[in-house]
Each structure stands twice: as structure tokens, then as C-alpha cells.
Structure 1
Amino acid sequence: MSSSSPVFVARLAGTAVFDPIGDQVGRVRDVVVLMRTNRPPRAVGLVVEVPGRRRVFLPLTRVTSINPGQVISTGLVNMRRFEQRSMESLVLGELLDRRVRFTDGSGEATVEDVAITKQRTGDWLVDQLFVRRRPERVAPLSLRRRGSTLTVPVDGVTGLARTDVDQGAARLLEAYENMRAADLADALHELGPARRVEVARALDDERLADVLEEMPEDDQVAILTELDAGRAADVLEAMEPDDAADLLNELPDAQADDLLALMEPEEAADVRRLLTYGEDTAGGLMTTEPVILGADDTIAMALAQLRRKELPPALAAMVFVVRPPTETPTGRFLGVAHFQRLLREPPHAAVASVLDSDSHWWLTPDAPVGRVTRLMAAYDFLALPVLDPERRLLGVVTVDDVLDHILPDDWRESHDESLAGEPDGTARVGSRSERSGPARDHMKQSGQDDGGSVSHG
């Protein structure tokens, strides 16, 4: 018999986690459960995202209450990045969208949420599932209706622990809907390879392109090679040309050539051009899609271009002004118009009237990374133009491109202990060390009451 109300995990995702004095520690990103034979799965802790986009483990033994909108914790947490172990499953990452079968033989359903409930013993068990019935087959010309939803006890279905069937990813993506691309990339990195590909396939091209740009190269290659060739080419088209070129550089030449052949000719031409430059040069780092305008275009037009939501901040800092044509490689480069200067001038004025045409701060495509970084540091620019000998604009190197290049290859997975709150790498919240070995099966709540619930109403 349980001593608390059920907590539905999909509703728990994103909930703020606080320490005992009310300071926010992070946000819940998932729940870790142990799948057990002939017994309900046991929830052992929360995956909490703390500052620095690091995901750490918070044992449920150190959670004193779970209420709508907040989780209260106590104690210390090891700030090392959470690493999933072989016997563990992530509720949001792996159990949502899983297909199960009713034990009474009434058909199949898809898991849309999972409820955990604290028992009188202090253990948290998965005891209920919120599922949607899979409709029976209907005539080809009839409308297919969505199945009804219901809450069932966990022992009312079979197949929850299976990993050998495709799941889909609708509910998982719903839980991740408001994540930034970099955060979603981290979440996908934590999933198993098969589940990672399932989720990637469910993303639209633009969203997947944004996420791939934030992932380690190994993950990028693994996902792209699992997509069918046409879809892979569409995703490459949606990526920034420099990022697409970097990814193609990691593929076998034959595969890269096949994908380039499937891309739209104009998109492929930009990427092919970038592939001709060395990766340690300005040409290898640049993007070919900055904001480019002609000298007679107005400041109002420039501000409208800089206001585009999809434009990265570094590229929104300035407009590059050229003679026609305005597609790279452009006509002769005239200078840049800085965003702050544009804000101070009349909207009807021409961008040529506010140009910074200093001749010292541009790059040649063969300029080494060292020159790029020194020039950026000297002039405090977020982006620098790359020009050919005829002073035509070929592209732009941004500060984020430089940082990606000069940081260690594994920086996205770095265990930077400087984020920890204590000399030994711990901060106040809970301790992953408590979950090592068989003793984890005997973790008990230390006497505090749990209150509230997060439910489907």
C-alpha cells in the first residue's frame, strides 16, 4: 500500500529543484528506474540539469517533497555528469512511446506517461501507466481515429521492458518541446544509440539540423548514417554550410559525394566550396550565409534582416555590404554596418552611409586559426569577413566557429569540476555515491514525508 499520491513523470519534466533553504539547484530532466523481473520497476533517482548544462543524479532518498512546480531536496550531490548504467532505464528517454500489450488480451497500447509512487517502505515504484489504446485495423478508406486513453496498473500490461521494437517518439518530443537545441542535443546524447536514432528520425529537418550542430561528431555521424539518403541530404541542406561541411568531412568520401549529389545544387555548391579549404584555416571555419546587402539598401531593410529568429547572435551583430551580386562569392566588399550604429540612424537612410570600411580587419581564406583569433581579440568582433584577392566576400568566420575549433574535441562532454560547490566536486543536493553496487536496492527514505503529486488530473 502506498503512502503518497502518484507522480506522473512527463508532467514532472522541467520542474525546478530546490535545496532546503529555497535556492534553485536545477531542473528535472528524467527519472531513472530499475527494470526488475516479475516485480514493478523501481525508481531510484532523478536526472537533474544543473548550471553549465550538466546532468547529475539526485537519489530519491534525498528528495523530501514533490509538488506541482517544485521538487525539494536535501544533502550533497556528486557533480560528475550522469552516466546511465546497463540495468537502468530512463522514463522519458526510453519508456515513453513504448508499445505494450494488455494482459487481458484486449489489444495493444502506447505508453504516454509513467507514474511513480512512494511506498510506506520509502521505495518509489512504477505502479501505473497512462496509455493510449492502439486502434484496431480499419478499412482502407475509413478515417483512422486515435485510440482512447486510460490509466492502468503496471502489471496490467506486458512488454514495458522490451527494447527490441520501434517505439516512436511523439511523447518524448512533447516533453522536450521547449528545450534549446543545445539542451536537446545533450538529452539525445544520454540516450542509447537505437533510441537516439528513433528520436532523431521523429524531428523535423530544421530542428534536427539545429540539434546535430550541437552534438559531438561521433553522434552526428551515427545519426546521419541511420537516416535514408534523401532525408540525410535534406537535413544537411538545413544545417549551416560550414557545419554541414564539417560533418561530411567525417564521412567516407563516397558517402559524402552521394549526399552532395542529392542536395539542391545551390546548397551543395556552398558546401563543396567549403570542403576545398583546410579545416585549420579561415576558409574552413567560415559560413557562407551571413547577412549581406547592397550599398543602396536601407537601414530598415538591414534591421529586418538582423531580426530574423533563426539568425545566430554572432551573425546578427553586423551587416556585410557589397556590390552586386549579393550571394557569395559576392561583388566587391565595401564594409560592414554594425547593429548598434544601425539603431541610431534614420530607417530610410542607406546602409552605405554608416559603413565601417577599415581595411585591417579582414581575412584571406588561407589565414591560419592563430591569425583569426588574434584579429578577433584585437578588434572585439563577433564575426570577421573572408575575402579573396579581388576583395569579394567569400564568407564570414564567427566567434562560435573559432571556439568550437580551439576547444578540446570532447568539450561538449567535459566533466568540468569547477562547477562543483565543494573542493571534492560535490554540491548541496544528494549523492550518486549512494547508488553504487547492490546497496542501491536497499536505499531508504530518511524519515521525511513526501507531499503532493504531479498527475493527469
Structure 2
Amino acid sequence: MTLATQPLSLSTLLRLPVHDSDGHRMGTLADVIVRLGDTDYPIVTGLVVAVGGTRTFVSSADLEALTPERVELSSSTVDVREFARREGEVLLSEDVLGHRLIDLARVAFVKAYDIQLTQVLEGWAATGLDVHRRRWLGLGPRHASHDVRDWLEFEPLIGHAASARVRRSTGRVQGLKPAQIADIIEDANEHEQDELLAQVHEDPELEADVFEELDQDSQAELFKGRSDSEVAEVLGRMQTDDAADALMDLPQERRLPVLTAMPEPQRGAVHRLLGYHDLTAGGLMGTEFVALPPTATAGDAVAAVRAASSVQPQALVVVYLLGEDGTLDGVLTLVAALRADAARPLSEIADRDVVVAAPTDDVIDVTRRMADFNLLALPVVDGGRRMIGLITVDDALEAAIPQDWSRRETGHRETGTA
């Protein structure tokens, strides 16, 4: 193959004449085929050449030269059968050019206006994307020069169902934070959502975290297309308070079947939370927290926090001391446990004057109490001072902040620069 001295842009290559090894024109370049990878640039595996009214496949092994003026093949013959895409193949013009991608650095949708192709040891590869809008004002060159960004900074959403399974394992969306993925899903169209959810579904724990971050309307809409057992599977991995809220957002006729399909002990915990109004401490609280007897040591407390992999991080800032009957006897911050002698009993270092909430306390009282005492977590106790739940600061803020503030537009819509 003739070596290229500089990268090429896909827009300049499309519809170029394709010549065989004898110099005869065979057709025009209709598309370039690549296979996506998880860390490397997608390598060109073939071309789609328009020969008369037929689109045919040409292997990259038969590509002799690729220049801004022409495409040359090393063979004098091509397979004249109609091109049929194979599993995992991506067509750069049909699937990427002019379509939306995820800018992973900015966590925003952008559109691909051009694609850079660079010659590498394996042949040709897609190495860059131009995501700047082009403007035609009638003056100067039509295609103004823009900086091309690295291909690996983006996640294409191809939307080709037949190759989705192959691409799913190479998707990089899983590297984003759950809240960022949720924002993208909320801005996506139906086909984009399908591909994003398919990638997230590969990691069940991440899937649950993402659904926790979705706003109520988006969450309910996405659950519409899932069976009761599928919804129950996701809710079973969510925090109990979030699962209870999501369950109540389902149509009434679906709530009991979904609840029944949830695994224990999550089903029982969610069922108990459903008895509280959502704007009370009982409706805000979760049921997962770390509790130890007063005879446990500071070392035990640190070990319990380390082992509590299913408890949300916000609930791990404190350890609670409970008596044999479940009554709240004291509280110890994780920082205090780390600073104390590992062998020292919790009864000697815990704060016995614990600020608590009753399950019927309203949201305003809860948030004011947490602010007044600078609390990151507030235990909820029943009439016998038995601890039944915990309100974390993120849940309190979410309930206190007006709903139209919680999803302010912060630039995660589609972006582009002229």
C-alpha cells in the first residue's frame, strides 16, 4: 500500500472514483467500514463501493492507495454481490457522520461533522472527529478548518441493532458517574436511550445507580417497556428509599406484582417504607446503616464500614450503637473511629446525646435539624427509640430543593461550536 503523508477527512473521500489495478474506474466510494474497540482506534476493515446501482464490499486488504483525489485497489476484480453488513461492523458515513455522539470529557451530546482517517501499522484507522458546526455564508471556502479532536474522547451511538451485542462490550459509557449517565439518558432520543441502557445493563449495580439518579418522569417512562420481573430486578439493587419512591411512581396495577417479584429482604424493607408519606422522615429514610453493640471496639466499627459494600457511601459516615432491643444508644463518626485506639470500646468514645427524627416529622423539620446540627446523616427512631432508618444529607437536599432546580440546564445538551 502507498503510504499516506497526512491524515484524510472522510468528507473529502466520499463519492471519489474507485479505480482497479489496471486504472479502470469501477465505481465511487460510498462508505468506509470499521470495527469499534474499547481502547484502540477503530481499524478500517473495508470499503463500500457504489458500482452502478449496487453497493459492494471491498476488503481493506485490497486497498492500494487512498488519497484526496482517488481510491486505488490492488485487484482488477471485486465481488459484485450486494453489500450486507456483518455483526460488529460500523459504517462511518451512515452510522457516525451527521449523527450524535457522547463527548465523554464534557458529558454532552455533540454531532460528528467530519471524521479523520490516519494510516497506521494495521492499515487505516478513524483517529479524530470534527464536532464543530459548519456555516456557509457565501464567502470563503465552504469547509472552514477546525481542530479535530481525538476519536477516543467520544462514544458513538450507532443504533444498529444487529451489531449491538458486539459493541456493547466495548462501550465506555460505564466509565462515567451514574448521575452523568442519567443526565445523558434523559437528553437522549429513544434509539440513543436503547443503546445507552443496553451498555449500562452489562453492569447490574451501575444500572441500579443510574436509575436512582433519573428524574421521576424518565424513570417511569423507561420502566414502561420492562416486564414486572425486570423492574423488580432493578429495584432490588436500588437503595430502599429510592426503590420505594420508584415503586409508587409505577401505575397502581403494577405496584403489587413488582413488589412481590422483588427479592427479600429488600421487599420487606420497601413494603415498610410504603406506609409513610413521602414528605416525612419515614418517607425519606433508607433502611441500610451500620450498627454495632456498645461493647464493640473502634476497630470493629472500621471493619464493619469496610464490609458494608451494599450500603450507600453517604450512610457510612457514622456508626450507630444499638442496645439488644434495638434502641439507639449512641453515635460515632467514622473519623472518630479511625482516630481512636482500635481496641477501645465504642461505649467510651461514642456520643450519647444523639439528635434523632420521628418517622412522622416533615421534610422542613428534618432539613432544618440537619442544618442546625451540621449532620450528614439523621437517624429515625420509633416511639420506643428503636432505630428504624437513616436520612442522609443527599436525600434531605433532594427533598428540600424545588424540583425545577434539581435538573437545571448545565450544558449537558447537545453542543457545537461555529
Does TM, scored on the shorter chain, surpass 0.5? Answer: yes
- CA deviations 1:190-227 (Å, max 9, x no partner) are 43335534653533432221110111112222232322
Given the superposition, is the C-alpha separation of residues 368 and 291 from structure 1 closer, same or farther in structure 2, using an over 3 Å criterion?
A: same
Cα distance change of structure 1 residues 173 and 74 upon mapping to structure 2, 3 Å threshold? closer
CA distance in 1, matches of 2:214, 2:357: 28
Query: Are 1:315 and 2:324 an aligned pair?
Result: no
**Residue 18 (structure 2) aligns with:** none
One-letter code of the match for 1:300? G
Give the alignment's TM-score, normalised by structure 1. 0.58
Q: Specify the SS of the correspondent of 2:319.
A: strand
Partner of 2:70: none
1:312-346 CA distances to partner (integer Å, 9 max, x unpaired)?
A: 33212110111136xxxxx1111111111101112
> Could you tell me which residue of structure 2 aligns to residue 373 of structure 1?
367
Residues 431, 383 of structure 1: CA spacing in aligned structure 2 closer, same or farther, 3 A cutoff? closer
1:284 correspondence with 2:283: yes
1:171 to 168, 172, 179: 168
Q: Alpha carbons of 1:364 and 1:169: their partners in 2 closer, same or farther (altered >3 Å)?
A: farther
Are 2:45 and 1:42 aligned?
no
Give 1:405's aligned residue. Answer: 399
Distance 1:173 1:305 in 2: 36
The answer to whether the Cα contact below 8 Å between 2:103 and 2:155 also exists between their aligned partners in 1 is no
| CA 1:41–1:186: 2 relative to 1, 3 Å | closer
Q: Deviations over 1:407-442 (max 9, x none)?
A: 33355642147x9xxxxxxxxxx97374xxxxxxxx
Q: Residues 93 and 172 of structure 1 are in contact (CA less than 8 Å); yes or no, is this contact kept in structure 2?
A: no
Alignment-mate amino acid for residue 180 of structure 1? K
Query: Retained in 2: the 8 A contact 1:215–1:412?
Result: no
Q: Give 1:246's aligned amino acid.
A: D
Superposition CA RMSD, Å: 4.2
CA distance in structure 2 between the aligned counterparts of 1:193 and 1:369, rounded to whole angstroms = 35
Secondary structure of 2:158 counterpart: helix
Amino acid across the alignment from 2:323: R
Give the conservation status (yes or no) of the 8 Å contact 1:290–1:395: yes
Aligned partners of 2:286 and 2:248: how far apart in 1?
A: 15
1:63-74 to structure 2, matched below 5 A, reads none
Q: Give, in angstroms, the shift of residue 177 of structure 1.
A: 3.1
SS at match of 1:255: helix
Cα distance change, pair 404–73 in 1 and its aligned pair in 2 (3 A): same
CA, structure 1 residues 41+214, in 2 after alignment: closer, same or farther (shift >3 Å)? Answer: closer
Q: Distance in 1 between matches of 2:240 and 2:250?
A: 16
- Percentage identity across paired residues of the two chains: 26
- 1:169–1:208 CA distance, 2 compared to 1 (3 A): farther
Structure 1 residue ranges (4+ consecutive) displaced by more than 6 angstroms after TM superposition = 6-9, 12-15, 70-76
Matches within 5 A, 1:42-441: 42-43=97-98, 47-48=102-103, 55=108, 57=110, 92-95=156-159, 98-99=161-162, 110=163, 167-168=164-165, 170-171=167-168, 174-197=171-194, 199-200=196-197, 202-307=201-306, 308-324=308-324, 331-359=326-354, 361-411=355-405, 413-416=407-410, 432=416, 434=418
> Partners in 1 of 2:391 and 2:302 — Cα distance?
21
Q: Give the direction of change, closer, same or farther, for the CA distance of 1:370–1:411 in structure 2 (3 Å limit).
A: same
Higher relative contact order (CA 8 A, sep 6+): 1
Structure 2, unmatched stretches of 5+, are 11-33, 42-91, 134-153
| 1:321/1:334 contact within 8 Å kept | yes
Q: Number of matched residues? A: 317
Aligned partner of 1:132 in structure 2 is: none
For 1:207 and 1:264, the matched residues in 2 are separated by 18
Aligned pair in 2 of structure 1 residues 172, 60: CA closer, same or farther (>3 Å)? farther
| Alpha-carbon distance in 1 for matches of 2:376, 2:40 | 32
Aligned-partner residue type, residue 293 of structure 1: L
Report if the CA contact (8 A) 2:285-2:392 is conserved: yes
CA distance in 2, matches of 1:72, 1:358: 60
TM-score normalised to structure 2 length: 0.63
The offset of 1:44, in angstroms, is 7.0
